[in-house]
Amino acid sequence: MQDIERHPLKPFLPSSAKVLMLGSFPPPRARWSMDFFYPNFQNDMWRILGIVFYADKNQFVIANERRFDYEAVVKFCTEAGIAIFDTASTVRRLKDNASDKFLEIVEPTDLAILLRQIPDCHTIVTTGEKATDAIVERYGCAKPQVGTFSPLSIGGRGYRFYRMPSSSRAYPLALDKKADAYRAMFTAIGML
């Protein structure tokens, strides 16, 4: 039996957040390039957001290093109004890797607690299949198709619940196509 892992990061909840982005759970720490969300240098989330907001996939990459710029990422998310956490607070890894396929959610995140701390939030975004399924299972809402949203109610408030393409390179979609999907979503919710 694998050990239970508690989430290693605190939720990132800037007070002005308009959107809450949710993955499933961070990869093992050995794969981290910074102490923040989407830390694996092979994950393209920060390249996607660099393309969408700055037309530069390397906006958040430290030149000549295989890591992301923590300070630049945090400053961007704070100024843009992007909160980030994961749909699982504790997990069990069934294999020693970062694959969601081998991740068992032991304790789902209580999103109502997070959302109370970001009262201007109107959109919840999942960045992968496991995260999407966790919300659908917990809140009984319709599962949106990739790139679209369904209505979602949590704690008596209504949200747009977007399911976006995974930023993992294992997800079979080109980086520019992923960026196009995220750009369309951020445009639709008035953040671009």
Candidates 85, 88, 96; CA nearest to 36 is 85
Q: What is the DSSP string of 11-76?
A: -B--TT-SEEEEES-PPPGGGBSSSSSS-BTT--HHHHHHHHHHS-TTTTBPTTSSSB-HHHHHHH
C-alpha dist (Å) from residue 39 to 145, 160, 183: 26, 26, 21
Instruction: Tell whether the model's pLDDT for residue 99 goes beyond 80.
Output: no
pLDDT tens, position by position, 25-43: 998 888 899 999 999 999 9
Candidates 71, 72, 23; CA nearest to 50 is 72
Please answer whether residues 19 and 188 qualify as being in contact, where contact means their C-beta atoms are separated by less than 8 angstroms. Answer: no
pTM above 0.85, yes or no: yes
Using pLDDT thresholds of 50, 70 and 90, give the confidence band for residue 1: low
Structural domain boundaries in the chain: 4-188
Place of tokens 């069990």: 92
Q: Output the pLDDT for position 104.
A: 78
Q: Output the pLDDT for position 96.
A: 67
Pick the CATH number of 4-188 from 3.40.470.10, 3.40.50.300, 3.40.1350.10, 3.40.50.920: 3.40.470.10
Averaged pLDDT of the chain? 93
* Amino acid (one-letter) located at 106: V
Instruction: Tell whether the model's pLDDT for residue 50 goes beyond 60.
Output: yes
Using pLDDT thresholds of 50, 70 and 90, give the confidence band for residue 7: very high
